[in-house]
């Protein structure tokens, strides 16, 4: 089940909200767990056992860390934390990377695919990277004393299972959500804000991302794209990915507000950044901060000299690329960003200052981002190299007739709309929708700006629902991670 589906919009969501608000406040964590586990089981019931196993494991390790701290047990709190994190990483490693490394191991052993037990396919559980990272944050936060151990299993399971961010984030750290699990406010104002954010995210996903997706897909399927085709496809994917994932994040944040949770912002106009360093402070903020807090700092951060700082930064980005998937394309994408980040640091990028001259800072940054997205989008390194060859003009300049006839006016219009929104969305804030969400009426005072905004958003949402019904299925890109 995905947020952008009729079964979610018209069945699961109203039923869950009804059950949640009918549940007495002390029991609402249990309602969250049951509802979220049903949400996850809609995809595959059998993998719910894996999810439950990770939940029990992490909760038990948290207890052991607390007991070791209090009783001076044989194993130290640090040792229990290391055991817990290792167990969670083994789960992630098996399900996410076995298909990548298994054949490589067999090849090193000198055996063929036909006669060795190492060759089998592991199905990737949806959202495994996100809930494993969040289980790790719990164990590390308890060890660091950044947050107390969960007061009971239901509260911890509610943190890990919270369905708005269960499948594709934002990646929530336990210390940032622990207090809200125990106590949070429920107001009509907060609920209304959640509805507005959900609708904005829904429109971004269905109207923009889904509309330009075919354009990107056609370009990346070409074996010898021309300069125009390669750049058109690369820009289309740049817009698709941003509106798909930022749309999902807004929907998740909105759903959280509907039940009293305030999740962290995940995007802050990243395509207006003036350096890659700034880009990573604005893109997928929850993952960036997670990698900083639990990987970069664990590697030593900037505490062990300049050379080690650069190495830690580079390794963090390479491992961040590998986190996205078991493919050389993701590793090379992480290497690309890690290398650029190190170069920018050497050039003086620090404290929000761009290392580039003002007149080339933005165009250079967005080109570097687009170049990286080509490798991220490609199914193989050879496919990415074909697109890079087209971007360099090695296969001609203009659109070929075979490609041009497949491009629709709607795709180009939504691509243009997405580009315009990239530059203008910083001026559109939730305050512009201030007040309870309602259909505007005309009074003696006229129609308020917020009411007009609500009406426009309601109209766009209606169009998005119609488009969604016509398209039948609209998966989110980050579900594959």
Catalytic residue among 324, 379, 432, 454: 324
8 A C-beta contact, residue 237 and residue 220: yes
Angle, CA of 31, 34 and 38, to the nearest 5°: 135
Whether 310 is a known active-site residue: answer: no
Q: Which residues are identified as catalytic?
A: 324
């Amino acid at each position: 089940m995905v947020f952008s589906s009729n079964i979610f919009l018209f069945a699961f969501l109203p039923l869950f909200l009804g059950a949640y608000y009918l549940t007495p406040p002390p029991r609402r964590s249990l309602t969250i767990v049951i509802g979220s586990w049903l949400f996850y089981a809609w995809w595959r019931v059998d993998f719910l056992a894996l999810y439950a196993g990770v939940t029990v494991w992490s909760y038990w390790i948290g207890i052991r860390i607390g007991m070791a701290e209090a009783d001076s047990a044989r194993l130290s709190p640090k040792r229990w934390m290391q055991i817990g994190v290792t167990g969670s990483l083994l789960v992630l490693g098996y399900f996410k990377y076995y298909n990548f490394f298994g054949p490589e191991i067999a090849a090193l052993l000198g055996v063929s695919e036909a006669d060795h037990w190492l060759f089998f396919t592991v199905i990737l559980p949806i959202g495994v990277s996100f809930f494993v990272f969040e289980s790790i944050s719990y164990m590390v936060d308890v060890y660091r004393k950044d947050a107390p151990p969960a007061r009971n299993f239901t509260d911890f399971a509610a943190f890990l299972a919270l369905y708005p961010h269960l499948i594709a984030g934002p990646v929530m750290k336990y210390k940032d959500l622990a207090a809200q699990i125990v106590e949070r406010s429920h107001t009509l104002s907060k609920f209304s804000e959640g509805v507005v954010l959900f609708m904005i995210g829904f429109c971004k996903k269905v109207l923009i991302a889904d509309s330009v997706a075919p354009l990107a897909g056609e370009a990346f399927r070409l074996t010898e794209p021309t300069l125009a085709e390669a750049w058109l496809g690369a820009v289309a994917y740049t817009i698709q990915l941003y509106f798909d994932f930022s749309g999902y994040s807004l929907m998740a944040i909105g759903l959280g507000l509907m039940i009293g949770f305030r999740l962290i912002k995940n995007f802050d106009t990243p395509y207006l950044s003036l350096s890659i360093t700034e880009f990573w402070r604005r893109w997928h903020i929850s993952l960036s901060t997670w990698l900083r807090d639990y990987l970069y700092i664990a590697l030593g951060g900037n505490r062990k000299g300049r050379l080690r700082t650069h190495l830690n930064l580079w390794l963090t980005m390479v491992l961040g690329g590998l986190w996205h998937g078991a493919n050389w394309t993701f590793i090379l994408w992480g290497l690309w960003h890690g290398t650029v980040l190190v170069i920018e640091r050497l050039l003086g990028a620090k404290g929000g200052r761009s290392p580039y001259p003002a007149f080339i800072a933005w165009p250079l940054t967005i080109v570097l981002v687009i170049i990286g997205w080509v490798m991220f989008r490609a199914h193989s390194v050879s496919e990415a190299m074909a697109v890079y060859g087209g971007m360099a003009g090695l296969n001609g300049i203009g659109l070929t007739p075979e490609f041009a006839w497949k491009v629709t006016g709607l795709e180009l219009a939504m691509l243009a709309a997405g580009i315009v929104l990239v530059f203008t969305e910083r001026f559109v804030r939730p305050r512009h929708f201030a007040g309870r969400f309602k259909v505007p009426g005309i009074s003696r005072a006229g129609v308020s700006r917020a009411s007009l905004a609500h009406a426009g958003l309601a109209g766009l949402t209606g169009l998005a629902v119609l488009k969604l019904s016509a398209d039948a299925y609209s998966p989110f890109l980050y579900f594959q991670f």
